[in-house]
Amino acid sequence: MAFLDRRQFLQLAAFGGAVFSSALPGAAHAAADDFYFVQLSDTHWGFEGPENPDARGTLPKAIAAVNALPEPPDFVIFTGDLTHTTEDGRERRKRMAEFQQQARALKVREVRYIPGEHDAALDQGKAYSEFFGPTHYVFDHRGVHFIVLDNVSDPAAKLGEEQLAWLQADLQAQPRDARIVVFAHRPLFDLYPQWDWATRDGAQAVELLQAHPNVVVFYGHIHQENHHMTGAIAHHSAKSLMFPLPAPGSQPKRTPVAWDPSQPYRGLGFREVEAEPAEARYVLSERPVTQG
Amino acid sequence: MPVDSLRRALVFALPAAALAQSDGVLELHVVARRFQFEPETLRVRAGVPVLLRLTSPEVPMGFNLPDFGVRTDIVPGKEAQLRFTPTRTGQFTFLCDVFCGNGHENMSGTLEVRS
């Protein structure tokens, strides 16, 4: 059967239907179907400021845009900073409850979460875990092994020895050519340490991951797209759904990019990731807030 | 060289309360408050050893000077010390790298190193 990727499928389906299969006879990952998921990031629920006059309206618009996609994603993942931090534990939990209520509007089978430092650093992930479960975990989906790392619950931006040992044990249980996708909030590499855009012991995680040739990392935190390679590992950051941040080192302080009334929601958006496990390939499509 | 002359030779434009001098080492006192270092600008000379004496009156903080590969945690109630010798001239960012609340992202300062 001829190979059709998801985009070809959608094009054909628009003309009256098509059979969708990515099975490649003889391929090591022949059983793995193509699929896609959506990454949303840095929603900062609870933020108030001129950087986003529609602070409470942006996430619902993005959710509506995801729900309007022509084919529902296999899952949606929020890569941290779900809420904007507050020192008041009661208010923190209120924001998490409100965020969770918003996310329930997503018309997908599964929604996954990871914490950002705004969610977890001030109480080492306590409130986050009450609402969203473990701060680091793994799951498998259609031939891809997903690893969620927590580099935020330690306020000093460390994974820590215990989590690194856990990662090492998990990787040792995977075949060398396993398709592995890592989610983290902060970059695992030193993107711009002068703005704290790094993970203090991230290099140790990258070294462990380097033993596998098919690894991709998706992260948030920096509120803009960035694409970087460490050896064979690609690292992709996603846009925010609250306010954009400036390019690394482009200005003295990392203050948010000002809201432009003539171009509302500029620099904000979410990402579609089409996974082709048989080819260990990931096609990224960046989407704006207000369109599906 | 008399101590006063040595001090003048090593230090310029620093708040008087922020500095002390001993054995050719420049001592600077830095207070980490949410969300600002006091002082925000440290001025030193290349090749002169620096001893930073760091305190935080409020919550745990971090002092990170990535261009020189030095950092330390600052625990309230306990003075942290950081020793390094700047080897390059220019302006370098130091920052708090322990998440301390809203405003943490703007908590940084500048180390000015002159020849």
Query: Does residue A147 sit within a domain?
Result: yes
Please, which residues 74-93 of chain A have a Cβ atom closer than 8 Å to chain B? 84-87
User: What number is the average pLDDT over the span A171-192?
Assistant: 98
pLDDT at B5 over 70: no
Which residue of A45, A194, A223 to mutate against B (max B Cβ within 10 Å)? A194
Rounded average pLDDT over A197-218:
98
What pLDDT score does B43 carry? 97
The model carries a pTM of 0.89
What local confidence, expressed as pLDDT, does residue B8 receive?
A: 43
* In the predicted structure, residue A8 carries a pLDDT above the cut 70: no
Bridge-based pairing of strands A179-183 and A75-79 is: unpaired
Residue A25 included in any domain? no
Cα–Cα dist A238/A288, whole Å: 12
What is the share, in percent, of chain A residues with pLDDT greater than 70? 88
Is A122 an interface residue toward B (CB < 8 Å)? yes
Kindly provide the ipTM of the predicted complex, given to two decimals: 0.85
Lowest mean pLDDT among A26-40, A140-154, B35-49, B97-111: A26-40
Digit-coded pLDDT (tens) for B36-55: 999 999 999 999 999 999 99
Does pLDDT of A188 surpass 50?
A: yes
Tell me the C-alpha distance between B115 and B113, whole Å. Answer: 7
**Partners of B29 in the β-ladder:** B53
Nearest to B98 among A84, A155, A253 (CB): A155
Could you give the number of structural domains in chain A?
Answer: 1
Residue A141 lies in a domain: yes
- In-domain check, residue A174: yes
Give B64's contacts in chain A (Cβ within 8 Å).
193, 196
pLDDT at position A290 is 85
Output the domain CATH number for residue A258.
Answer: 3.60.21.10
Query: Is residue B19 very low, low, confident or very high in pLDDT (cuts 50, 70, 90)?
Result: low
Q: Is the pLDDT of residue A181 over 60?
A: yes
In a domain, A24, yes or no: no
pLDDT greater than 80 at residue B23: no
What share of chain A has pLDDT > 90, as a percent? 87
Orientation of helix A161-172 relative to helix A202-209, angle to 10° = 10
Q: Is A2 contained in some domain? A: no
Tell me, what's the pLDDT at A291? 64
Say if residue A211's pLDDT is above 70: yes
Minimum-distance CB partner of A157 among B60, B67, B97 = B97
Question: What is the pLDDT, as a whole number, of residue A32?
Answer: 66
The reply to whether A3 falls in a domain is no
SS3 at position A216: strand
Beta strand B19-22 with A137-141 is: unpaired
A87 contacts B66? CB cut-off 8 A: no
Q: Is residue A7 part of a domain?
A: no
Report the residue of chain B nearest A222, measured CA to CA. B105
| Chain A to chain B Cβ contacts (< 8 Å) | 45
- Min distance B88 CA to chain A CA atoms (Å): 16
From chain B, the residues in CB contact with A122 under 8 A are 99, 101
Average pLDDT value for chain A = 92
Report CA torsion sign: A220, A223, A225, A231: negative
Please, what are the domains in chain B?
26-113 (2.60.40.420)
With CB atoms and an 8 Å threshold, state whether B105 touches A254: yes
Residue A246 is part of which domain span? 35-288
